[in-house]
Amino acid sequence: MTLDEQITELRRMGSGRILYWARPGVVVLSAGLVLAGAFTGNLIFYGMAIAFALISFAICNTTPHISNAARGLREGIKQKGDVEISIHQWTDAESNQYESYKGLILMDNQPLWQMEFVQPQNWQPKEGRYPAELFFIRGVEWPVVLITSDGLLYPRLKPGRVPGGQR
């Protein structure tokens, strides 16, 4: 997927009504399943409620970052910087292998932010330091989206400040 296609996809994802209604919809569904379990006495409803509660938690943690990234592409303030990407791999109990992408965001060669990125779609970042265009929006301290020559990245969780980082 080209960089332009990634930008178009993020803008589409971040501006849709589905994203707006996803959080309350999944919470209401979980509550409804708990009630169904209480009225019927069937334990399957409780199990489904737990699964949807976990999905709700993931949605609540990620959707603000998707919305901020899309907004940053539309109206954000751009600044030049660098991103130092590291890839962390691990295996779970069932021998499934996973990767997570973490980055150190630098401006004027000063490390400022550490963030874990959402799994990039249709491209594979490589470890190393890359020049990036950082997008900031009002009300959010950290860059909401980063564009490198290969693709775009945005945070999965709230980024942390680098100890001793200035600005």
Backbone angles phi and psi of 66, in degrees to 5:
-65, -45
What stretch of H or E contains 4? Answer: helix 3-15
29 and 44 inside one domain: yes
- Tell whether 167 is covered by a domain: no
pLDDT digits (tens, 9 = 90+) for 48-90: 999 998 888 887 778 888 888 988 988 899 999 999 999 988 8
Residue 116 in any domain: the answer is yes
The reply to whether 68 and 138 lie within a common domain is no
Q: Give the CATH number of the domain where residue 104 resides.
A: 2.40.50
What are the pLDDT digits (tens) for 22-45?
A: 778 888 999 999 999 999 999 999
The total number of structural domains in the chain stands at 2
**Is the pLDDT assigned to residue 102 strictly greater than 70?**
yes
- Tell me: do 59 and 104 sit in the same domain: no
Angle, in degrees to the nearest 10, between helices 17-40 and 43-75: 170
The DSSP call for residue 95 is -
Domain that holds residue 33: 3-73
Do 66 and 95 lie in one domain? The reply is no
Q: Is the domain of 26 the same as that of 93? A: no
